């Protein structure tokens, strides 16, 4: 690594989260930078570090970012920025009447994601207790409830992505366990409307939030009280954050002292691209209202179909909600764009049925669900994809599945 003070920690090879966390803290105590790689990213990160040569940014982390758009890069965040984010979150909790130091924080998210790293930073700063949950336990709610009973006289804070929340809501044992939490942050991906409605029906104290690696995680968050009252979106910005929208694209823009100083690209630490007045422009389209921020979808995922701007993520959430209401045996759904000479782009639906489902019947039922949708929003082709699944953090690697679609291209026909 050219003599730089970078210690590489590979998520798939380091054992228990608590041991990895202790190692990260040792590196920080020595003034070093920790580069965290997720499963399958070891070689890519190693190559980037080798090309970078000497690198000495002080106590910090390098984390992968940009997975939603397929353009992966390694974002630098100084420890001081992570601690600033933790202080802002602590102040927000105090505004709810909670003492951060007295809370028990549960974290099932991986350390190589900023949302999985921040609980470590928060608890070491607050002096709070952190308990790591093995991600596989969330796939078995009964085992989770038995192995991790929640204290009744102590506030419990939990961080989840929507995929994990869904697995717990599908089992009464999971719902009962979640009900023991004082606050459940949900981020990393958009919270589908059907999941939000399900959680409200169970009176679960969800706090939907929005942030990015570039912003040292959460920049705005909804209070559980407002969530349960039916308010949509991700709430208001934290005390050290300002939000606005780019008037041209509708992109969410963020100003905060904890913006990343830059990212590794072809062996160079390049500064984070900012607007002329110092704001970072995200890849998400949003709406800002008095109640806070609502995310419409990824700008790099939006398509222009028949002169209409279409956000596939919103349509996925709508169709999943309709399929759930109809009791359809659907496990995963992803809408992607295909070039079309007349429309410019049209939507194609990738579908993963449940193992007990009849694929043809499911396809027909899904087609019937969108009959009344505007033409630009209706998928024109449907494809069965048995391996379709988001990442462990609940994000869709749209670039990857776009490649899958190209590789499995077939002439259009009934049912795709």
- State the residue range of the domain holding 317: 302-407
Task: Assess whether 94 and 190 both reside in one domain.
Answer: yes
- Pair 272, 342 in one domain: no
Q: Which of 298, 324, 346 is the last residue of a domain?
A: 298
- Indicate whether 290 and 322 sit together in one domain: no
**In-domain check, residue 71:** no
Residue 71, pLDDT score: 52
Do both 155 and 237 map to the same domain? Answer: yes
Instruction: Tell which of 269, 298, 327 closes a domain.
Output: 298
pLDDT over threshold 90, residue 372: no
Q: Percent of the chain, pLDDT > 90?
A: 60
**Residue 280 has what pLDDT?**
97
Residue 123 belongs to some domain of the structure: yes
In the chain, how many domains are there?
2
Q: Are both 199 and 320 inside the same structural domain?
A: no
Inter-CA distances, 47 with 25, 35, 41, Å: 24, 12, 10
Same domain, 164 and 254: yes
Distance of CA 205 to the CA centre of its chain: 19
pLDDT digits (tens, 9 = 90+) for 115-167: 999 999 999 999 999 999 988 888 899 999 999 999 998 999 999 988 789 88
Last residue of a domain, one of 298, 318, 333: 298
CA proximity to 218, closest of 135, 159, 297: 159
Q: Write out pLDDT tens, residues 36-58.
A: 887 667 777 888 888 877 777 89
Is 101 part of any domain? yes
Q: What is the pLDDT of residue 2?
A: 39
pLDDT at 55 (0 to 100): 74
Average pLDDT over all residues of the chain:
88
Residues 231 and 99 in one domain: yes
* Token output for 36: 């965290």
* Lowest mean per-residue pLDDT among 161-175, 304-318, 377-391: 304-318
What's the pTM? 0.77
Same domain, 233 and 179: yes
Q: Sign of the C-alpha dihedral, residues 318, 322, 323, 325?
A: positive
Give the span between the Cα atoms of 124 and 82, in whole angstroms.
Answer: 11
Copy the structure tokens of residue 369.
């669900």
Question: What local confidence, expressed as pLDDT, does residue 17 receive?
Answer: 83
CATH of the domain at 280: 3.40.50.12780
């Amino acid at each position: 690594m050219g003599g730089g003070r970078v210690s590489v920690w590979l998520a798939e090879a380091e054992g228990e989260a608590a041991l990895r966390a202790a190692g990260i803290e040792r590196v920080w105590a020595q003034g070093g930078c920790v580069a965290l790689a997720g499963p399958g990213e070891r070689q890519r990160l190693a190559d980037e570090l080798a090309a970078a040569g000497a690198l000495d940014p002080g106590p910090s982390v390098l984390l992968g970012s940009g997975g939603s758009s397929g353009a992966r890069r390694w974002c630098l965040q100084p420890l001081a920025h992570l601690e600033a984010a933790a202080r802002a979150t602590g102040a927000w909790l105090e505004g709810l009447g909670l003492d951060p130091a007295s809370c028990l924080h549960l974290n099932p998210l991986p350390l190589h994601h900023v949302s999985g790293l921040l609980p470590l930073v928060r608890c070491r700063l607050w002096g709070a207790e952190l308990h790591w949950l093995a991600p596989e336990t969330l796939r078995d709610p009964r085992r989770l409830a038995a192995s991790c009973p929640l204290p009744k006289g102590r506030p419990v804070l939990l961080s989840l992505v929507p995929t994990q929340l869904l697995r717990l809501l599908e089992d009464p044992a999971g719902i009962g366990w979640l009900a023991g939490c004082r606050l459940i942050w949900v981020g990393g991906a958009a919270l589908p409307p059907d999941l939000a409605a399900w959680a409200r029906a169970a009176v679960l104290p969800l706090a939907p939030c929005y942030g990015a690696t570039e912003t040292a995680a959460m920049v705005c968050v909804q209070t559980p009280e407002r969530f349960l009252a039916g308010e949509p979106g991700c709430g208001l910005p934290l005390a050290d954050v300002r939000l606005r929208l780019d008037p041209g694209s509708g992109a969410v823009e963020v100003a905060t002292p904890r913006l990343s100083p830059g990212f590794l690209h072809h062996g160079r630490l390049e500064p984070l691209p900012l607007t002329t007045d110092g704001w970072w422009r995200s890849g998400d389209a949003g709406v800002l209202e008095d109640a806070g921020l609502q995310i419409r979808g990824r700008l790099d995922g939006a398509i222009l179909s028949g002169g209409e701007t279409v956000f596939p993520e919103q349509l996925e959430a709508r169709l999943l909600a309709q399929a759930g209401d109809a009791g359809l045996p659907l496990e995963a759904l992803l809408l992607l764009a295909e070039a079309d000479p007349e429309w410019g782009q049209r939507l194609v639906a990738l579908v993963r049925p449940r193992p007990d489902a009849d694929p043809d019947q499911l396809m027909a039922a899904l087609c019937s669900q969108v009959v009344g949708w505007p033409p630009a929003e209706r998928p024109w082709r449907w494809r069965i994809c048995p391996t379709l699944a988001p990442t462990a953090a609940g994000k869709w690697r749209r670039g990857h599945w776009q490649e899958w679609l190209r590789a499995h291209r077939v002439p259009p026909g009934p049912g795709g």
